[in-house]
């Protein structure tokens, strides 16, 4: 941290951040205009400026014309560099930002798609938020990706947090940056309960009684067929024989599970949602059919990834007020 | 979904990450280039230290070895400090300081663990580049250093690209070739040139230094000094560097009259001639006696001396220069920068028709107990000859008839140097002749003295100036005769008339070095006008010249305020232009010439009321155009035919392209 104190950016960022915080989130696609750009020398830039100043004083003092010439050349060079730096960012388009849903507590990974519609390449564009920094180089008329990871705190829709898109191209003397405030959000599922009781099985029982898991469900192996979910792969067999083999369970579709919010032996909205979440994942992993009942919503029985995400989204969006 | 093209980086690690091989190669190359011109001034062990540091660093990088321990570095630093101190005897002189800087640079090479270290080294490299100019400001060094600065700047770009190189792990050159790097750095610096020129012209200069005294220009050639002893001038003969350049107003003196007068020497100790402390007033010159004066401006290269040279005999002393009774000119401060002096000379002006007793005594002084043979010869001549003028003539005759030869490799002479020379070796160059002649004259009772300076010079016809080199150094004599005053006598001319008529170099019996050929000398003379231009226009640019910059605009003497204003205006204009250019360059989306022509065609048709739709090919579009403007069918067909050929049939002929352009022109 001591090092950071000398960094011009460390005290200007918060200031500029505050000054520019009135900007509402913008809709995609965003084109970074020069109005949104800020430029400052980097630490090396400040050092380089001081060096030029020393050179200037020395050569003026000794009235050494060649030394002055070189000093002025470096000075002129330094004055022109911000133009290159700004140019590298200005006009860059952010076409879309995607984030897959995450469980609460995990980092949401926003993948930013950038498009360089210009005739010149844009080398070394960086994105930074919290601990993660990503970098990409865009050739002329090309697209590229950057990523911003944001730790999720609670379930629901999490908005993209203001992140910095910056570049120090071409020589690291200046940094130009834009604050990225797109109107983008990521769905955060409740965190699955750790150590949750096993999934209730059977139509009538959803009280959390240990599930009847036994050999009778296991029906054997068969050759892998395209479309078999990977969780059904018999990896041990594959490893032994080299043949792609799938496990077959019997009677899955006969078992109907209803996961009911009201029928949980625990208190608290979040705790219940967590348990439901954990059960949904469990059920999906085992390929079971299940239905979800929430106070404000009912989801018909189904199975598969799409069904799971549908249910998890319902959990994420669940309003505690509706439990009423 | 896979996002293969983004790369996640842990930033603190990147900032601290060790430079990769490519960065290191560029860095070490720039350091080597920037240190190279200093090598001759640095202690001999520096080269070893620098190379060892580079080799060690490369080896560490290749074999992933850890950096050497801190205490070794500390020991090396202390050793280097001691070494510098031993070499220069101080740590504070300019040479010691640059030596220290270079040594620190070499030591820092061993310790380039982080990106920050590389930046520090780069900054040091820029600084070392600028220190070169403290020693030498020549045009060629400037060109060289510009190249070096481009390489240093390219290194900055290499560092900037390092994260991408490391993350993708692809081969280094795949991203950006070395040539491309050099070119981008060059372009960035070249864009700075107009701004640099503006700053150079208008940035306010200092009247006097803020600290320190203007130090001696260390590459200054000492040139002629105020002592003469056999062997002194020989050092100058092999030195082709310029002593001064002269521009004449009007007539140029002939070669045989180009005696450039320096210090006059009076005291002789048997071997060495030295100056007498004769602070006096300049010789009085009757302005009416000036008949055909030469007017000229003489631009001296820096020497570390006070002496000023002028065409014999000087009738008007330049500014800030003093002249003594014996016509020796000097400035109070040593000449440390290129100095231009305006002078008037008239070779025929009489000098000191009256000789005061003090001067007569000084001009007859001879050491006791030296050169008995010379004294005997002089006594004999004195008895035999009537007038001093005839004695002078006799001496000259002796030189030209009695087997004296002009040689740059004379045999050694002993304690009685004049005797040895006149009666035994009979071989030598101007120093020997003037020394022996003057001593002989004094022995014969004729007041005489030695004059040192230069003789001759190369006249550059194209640029119309005379170049006098150190190798033109010369020494001659002056004798004082009743009613005639001081007369110039050049005994060397009696022996080797070519020395005076053609110049020192043409009298050489052998080449002076491995690169001493006639054509090379001619080439050097040619290049000298470039160097002279550089000296006059750039190196010599000063506050006074700056102030008269705006003369064409009617501002005689530019004030500080005006220069700052001019600076601001011009710089802003240049920056705005650069901004506009760089942005435009980016936004020029389509460099495709042929497509541009097609766009122009579309534009023209749009004026005629036919607008192309994005989904429409050229042939379909042409069909609609023809339907709308039947009168233009031929022209449209020609345009589209040519376009289709160029675009789709793969014809790359410029003839077809011209056809397309012509067809387009007929449309408008």
Dump pLDDT digits (tens) for B72-100. 888 888 988 888 888 887 777 778 888 88
CA-based nearest distance B545→chain A, Å: 13
Q: Which residue has the higher pLDDT, A122 or B222?
A: A122
B154 and B32 in a single domain? The answer is: yes
Q: Which residue has the tokens 């067909």?
A: B637
Q: Which residue has the higher pLDDT, B140 or A206?
A: B140
B564 and B647 in a single domain? The answer is: no
B39 and B152 in a single domain? The answer is: yes
Number of H helices, E strands in chain A: 6, 17
For residue B639, is pLDDT > 90? no
Q: Do B5 and A145 touch (CB under 8 A)?
A: yes
Most confident of B276-280, B418-422, B552-556: B418-422
Q: Do A169 and B160 touch (CB under 8 A)?
A: yes
The pLDDT, as a whole number, for residue B66 is 75
B405 and B553 in a single domain? The answer is: no
- A-chain residue closest to B534, CA distance: A66
Q: Which residue has the higher pLDDT, B261 or A283?
A: B261
For residue B190, is pLDDT > 80? yes
For residue B125, is pLDDT > 90? yes
Chain B segment 48-77 residues within 8 A of A by beta carbon are none
In chain B, what residues touch A142 (CB-CB under 8 Å)? none
The pLDDT, as a whole number, for residue A55 is 94
Last residue of a domain, one of B530, B557, B587: B587
Closest CA to B501 of B260, B665, B313, B256: B256
Q: For B164-180, what is the mean pLDDT?
A: 66
For residue B548, is pLDDT > 90? no
Q: Do A133 and B192 touch (CB under 8 A)?
A: no
B71 and B150 in a single domain? The answer is: yes
Question: How many CB atoms within 10 Å of residue B513?
Answer: 8
In chain B, what residues touch A126 (CB-CB under 8 Å)? 9
Q: In this predicted structure, which of A161-175, A279-293, B170-184, B499-513 has the lowest mean pLDDT? A: B499-513
Measured CA to CA, the distance from residue B324 to residue B81 in angstroms comes to 47
The pLDDT, as a whole number, for residue A49 is 96
CA-based nearest distance B123→chain A, Å: 7
For chain B, give the percent of residues with pLDDT over 90.
19
User: Do residues A175 and A9 make contact, with C-beta atoms less than 8 angstroms apart?
Assistant: yes
Q: Do B192 and A65 touch (CB under 8 A)?
A: no
Q: For A204-233, what is the mean pLDDT?
A: 58
Q: Choose from B199, B204, B535 for mutation: most chain A CBs within 10 A.
A: B199
Q: Does A49 touch chain B (CB under 8 A)?
A: no
Question: How many CB atoms within 10 Å of residue B497?
Answer: 15
Closest CA to B116 of A299, A44, A113, A262: A44
- Would residue B436 count as lying in a domain? yes
Q: Does A107 touch chain B (CB under 8 A)?
A: no
DSSP B348-366: T----SS--HHHHHHHH--
Q: Do B167 and A135 touch (CB under 8 A)?
A: yes
Chain B segment 594-623 residues within 8 A of A by beta carbon are none
B169 and B68 in a single domain? The answer is: yes
- Would residue B36 count as lying in a domain? yes
Number of domains in chain B: 4
Measured CA to CA, the distance from residue B194 to residue B200 in angstroms comes to 10
Chain B segment 133-152 residues within 8 A of A by beta carbon are 133-134, 137, 141-142, 145-146, 149
From the number of C-beta atoms within 10 Å of its C-beta (0-12, 13-18, 19+), residue A267 rates as exposed
Model pLDDT for residues B448-481, shown as the tens digit of each residue: 999 999 988 888 887 788 888 888 888 899 999 9
> In which element (H, E) is residue B14 found?
helix B11-16
Q: In this predicted structure, which of A218-222, B389-393, B558-562 has the lowest mean pLDDT? A: A218-222
Domain with B567 in it: 547-587
B599 and B637 in a single domain? The answer is: yes
Contacts of B276 (CB under 8 A, 6+ apart): B266, B267, B362
Measured CA to CA, the distance from residue B101 to residue B480 in angstroms comes to 56
B573 and B625 in a single domain? The answer is: no
B583 and B601 in a single domain? The answer is: no
Measured CA to CA, the distance from residue B466 to residue B456 in angstroms comes to 9
Q: Which residue has the higher pLDDT, A231 or B43?
A: B43
Q: Does A142 touch chain B (CB under 8 A)?
A: no
Model pLDDT for residues B564-608, shown as the tens digit of each residue: 888 888 888 988 888 887 777 666 554 567 777 888 888 888 888
Q: Which residue has the higher pLDDT, B645 or A88?
A: A88
User: What tokens appear for B195 in the block?
Assistant: 């701004």
User: Do residues A171 and A177 make contact, with C-beta atoms less than 8 angstroms apart?
Assistant: no
For chain B, give the percent of residues with pLDDT over 70.
87
- Would residue B530 count as lying in a domain? no
In chain A, what residues touch B126 (CB-CB under 8 Å)? 51, 55, 74
Closest CA to B160 of B253, B26, B294, B70: B26
Q: Which residue has the higher pLDDT, B6 or B378?
A: B378
For residue A203, is pLDDT > 50? no
Chain B segment 82-111 residues within 8 A of A by beta carbon are none
The pLDDT, as a whole number, for residue A53 is 96
From the number of C-beta atoms within 10 Å of its C-beta (0-12, 13-18, 19+), residue A76 rates as buried
CA triplet B468, B474, B475: central angle to 5 degrees?
145
- Would residue B471 count as lying in a domain? no
- The minimal CB distance from A145 to the residues B6, B11, B203 is found for B6
- A-chain residue closest to B572, CA distance: A79
Q: Does B218 touch chain A (CB under 8 A)?
A: no
Q: What is the ipTM of this complex?
A: 0.77
**Cα R_g (chain B), whole angstroms:** 36
For residue A226, is pLDDT > 50? yes
The pLDDT, as a whole number, for residue A133 is 81
Q: Does B337 touch chain A (CB under 8 A)?
A: yes
Q: Does B538 touch chain A (CB under 8 A)?
A: yes
Measured CA to CA, the distance from residue B373 to residue B419 in angstroms comes to 6
Q: For B363-387, what is the mean pLDDT?
A: 89
Q: For B143-152, what is the mean pLDDT?
A: 95
For residue B282, is pLDDT > 60? yes
B435 and B551 in a single domain? The answer is: no
CB burial of B547-575 (b: ≥16 within 10 Å; e: otherwise) equals bebbeeeeeeebeeebbeebbeebbeebb
- Would residue B405 count as lying in a domain? yes
Measured CA to CA, the distance from residue A204 to residue A257 in angstroms comes to 8
> What average pLDDT is seen over chain A?
80
B485 and B561 in a single domain? The answer is: no
> What average pLDDT is seen over chain B?
82
Q: How confident is the model at residue B241 (pLDDT cuts 50, 70, 90)?
A: confident
User: Do residues A17 and A146 make contact, with C-beta atoms less than 8 angstroms apart?
Assistant: no
From the number of C-beta atoms within 10 Å of its C-beta (0-12, 13-18, 19+), residue A4 rates as exposed
Q: In this predicted structure, which of B317-321, B494-498, B500-504, B639-643 has the lowest mean pLDDT? A: B500-504
CA triplet B511, B516, B521: central angle to 5 degrees?
125
Measured CA to CA, the distance from residue A157 to residue A183 in angstroms comes to 12
The pLDDT, as a whole number, for residue A255 is 61
Q: Which residues pair with A40 in a beta bridge?
A: A175
B554 and B492 in a single domain? The answer is: no
CA-based nearest distance B28→chain A, Å: 18
Last residue of a domain, one of B530, B559, B587: B587
- Would residue B104 count as lying in a domain? yes
Q: Do A135 and B586 touch (CB under 8 A)?
A: no
The pLDDT, as a whole number, for residue B668 is 67
Q: How confident is the model at residue B32 (pLDDT cuts 50, 70, 90)?
A: very high
User: What tokens appear for B149 in the block?
Assistant: 């600065």
**Which regions of B230-293 does DSSP assign to beta strands (E)?**
242-249, 259-265, 267-268, 273-274
CATH number, domain with residue B484: 3.10.620.30
Q: Does A171 touch chain B (CB under 8 A)?
A: yes
Q: In this predicted structure, which of B31-45, B267-281, B501-515 has the lowest mean pLDDT? A: B501-515
Q: Which residue has the higher pLDDT, A16 or B25?
A: B25
In chain A, what residues touch B590 (CB-CB under 8 Å)? 119
């Amino acid at each position: 941290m001591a090092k950071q104190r000398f960094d011009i950016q460390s005290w200007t960022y918060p200031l500029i951040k505050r000054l520019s915080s009135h900007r509402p989130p913008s809709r995609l696609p965003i084109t970074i205009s020069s109005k949104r750009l800020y430029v400052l020398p980097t630490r090396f830039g400040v050092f380089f400026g001081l060096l030029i100043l020393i050179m200037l004083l020395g050569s003026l003092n000794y009235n050494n014309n060649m030394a002055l010439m070189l000093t002025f050349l470096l000075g002129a060079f330094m004055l022109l560099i911000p133009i290159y730096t700004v140019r590298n960012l200005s006009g860059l388009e952010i076409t879309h930002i995607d984030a897959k849903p995450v469980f609460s507590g995990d980092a949401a990974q926003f993948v930013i798609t950038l498009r360089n519609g210009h005739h010149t390449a844009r080398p070394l564009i960086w994105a930074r938020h919290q601990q993660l920094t990503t970098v990409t180089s865009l050739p002329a008329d090309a697209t590229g990706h950057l990523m911003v990871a944001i730790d999720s705190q609670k379930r629901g829709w999490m908005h993209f947090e203001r992140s910095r898109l910056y570049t120090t191209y071409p020589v690291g003397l200046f940094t130009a940056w834009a604050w990225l405030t797109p109107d983008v959000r990521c769905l955060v599922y409740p965190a699955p309960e750790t150590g949750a009781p096993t999934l209730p099985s059977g139509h009538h029982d959803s009280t959390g009684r240990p599930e009847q898991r036994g050999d009778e469900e296991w029906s054997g192996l068969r050759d892998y067929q395209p479309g078999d979910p990977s969780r059904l792969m018999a990896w041990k067999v594959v490893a032994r024989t080299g043949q792609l083999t799938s496990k077959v369970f019997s009677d899955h579709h006969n078992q109907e599970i209803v996961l009911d919010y009201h029928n949980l032996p625990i208190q608290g909205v979040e705790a219940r949602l967590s348990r439901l979440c954990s059960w949904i994942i469990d059920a999906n992993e085992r390929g079971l059919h299940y239905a979800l009942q929430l106070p404000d919503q009912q989801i018909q029985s189904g199975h598969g990834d799409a069904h799971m995400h549908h249910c998890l989204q319902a959990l994420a969006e669940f309003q505690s007020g509706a439990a009423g | 979904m896979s996002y293969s093209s983004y790369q996640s980086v842990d930033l603190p690690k990147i900032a601290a990450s060790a430079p990769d091989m490519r960065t290191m190669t560029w860095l070490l190359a720039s350091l080597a280039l920037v240190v190279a011109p200093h090598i001759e001034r640095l202690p001999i062990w520096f080269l070893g230290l620098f190379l060892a540091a580079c080799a060690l660093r490369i080896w560490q990088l290749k074999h992933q070895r850890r950096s050497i321990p801190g205490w070794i570095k500390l020991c090396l630093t202390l050793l280097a400090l001691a070494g510098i101190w031993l070499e220069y005897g101080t740590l504070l002189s300019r040479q010691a300081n640059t030596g220290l800087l270079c040594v620190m640079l070499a030591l820092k090479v061993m310790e380039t663990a982080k990106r920050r270290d590389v930046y520090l080294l780069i900054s040091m490299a820029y600084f070392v580049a600028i220190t070169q100019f403290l020693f030498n400001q020549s045009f060629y060094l400037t060109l060289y250093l510009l190249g070096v600065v481009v390489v240093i700047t390219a290194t900055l770009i290499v560092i900037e690209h390092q994260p991408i190189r490391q993350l993708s792990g692809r081969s280094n050159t795949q991203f950006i070739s070395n040539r491309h790097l050099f070119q981008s750095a060059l372009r960035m610096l070249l864009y700075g040139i107009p701004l640099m020129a503006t700053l150079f012209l208008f940035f306010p200069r200092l009247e006097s230094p803020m600290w320190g005294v203007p130090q001696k220009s260390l590459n200054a050639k000492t040139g002629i000094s105020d002592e003469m002893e056999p062997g002194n001038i020989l050092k100058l003969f092999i030195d082709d560097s310029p002593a001064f350049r002269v521009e004449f107003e009007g007539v140029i003196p002939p070669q045989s009259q180009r005696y450039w007068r320096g210090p006059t020497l009076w005291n002789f100790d048997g071997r060495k001639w030295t100056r007498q402390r004769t602070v006096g007033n300049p010789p009085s010159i009757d302005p009416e006696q000036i008949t055909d004066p030469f007017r000229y401006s003489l631009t001296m290269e820096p020497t570390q001396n006070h002496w000023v040279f002028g065409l014999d005999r000087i009738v008007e002393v330049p500014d800030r220069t003093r002249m003594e009774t014996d016509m020796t000119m000097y400035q109070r401060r040593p000449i440390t920068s290129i100095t231009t002096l305006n002078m008037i000379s008239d070779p025929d002006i009489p000098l000191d028709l009256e000789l005061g007793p003090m001067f007569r005594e000084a001009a007859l002084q001879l050491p006791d107990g030296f050169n008995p043979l010379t004294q005997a010869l002089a006594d004999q001549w004195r008895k035999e000859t009537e007038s001093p003028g005839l004695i002078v003539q006799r001496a000259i005759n002796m030189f030209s008839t009695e087997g004296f030869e002009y040689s740059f490799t004379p045999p050694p002479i002993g304690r009685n140097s004049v005797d040895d020379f006149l009666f035994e070796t009979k071989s030598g160059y101007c120093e020997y002749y003037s020394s022996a002649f003057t001593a002989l004259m004094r022995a014969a009772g004729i007041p005489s003295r030695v004059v040192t300076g230069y003789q001759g010079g190369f006249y550059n016809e194209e640029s119309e100036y005379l170049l006098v080199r150190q190798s033109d150094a010369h020494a001659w004599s002056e004798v004082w005769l009743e009613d005639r005053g001081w007369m110039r006598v050049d005994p060397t001319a009696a022996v080797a008339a070519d020395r005076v008529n053609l110049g020192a170099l043409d009298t050489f019996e052998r080449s002076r070095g491995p690169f001493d050929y006639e054509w090379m000398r001619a080439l050097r003379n040619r290049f000298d006008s470039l160097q002279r231009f550089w000296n006059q226009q750039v190196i010599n640019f000063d506050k006074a010249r700056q102030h008269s910059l705006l003369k064409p605009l009617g501002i005689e003497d530019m004030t500080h305020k005006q220069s700052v204003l001019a600076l601001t205006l011009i710089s802003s204009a240049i920056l705005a232009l650069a901004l506009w250019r760089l942005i435009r360059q980016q936004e020029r989306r389509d460099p495709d010439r042929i497509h541009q022509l097609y766009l122009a065609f579309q534009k023209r048709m749009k004026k005629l009321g036919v607008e192309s739709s994005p989904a429409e090919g050229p042939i379909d579009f042409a069909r609609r155009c023809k339907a709308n403007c039947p009168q233009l069918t031929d022209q449209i067909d020609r345009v589209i035919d040519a376009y289709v050929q160029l675009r789709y049939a793969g014809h790359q002929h410029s003839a077809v392209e011209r056809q397309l352009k012509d067809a387009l022109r007929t449309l408008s």
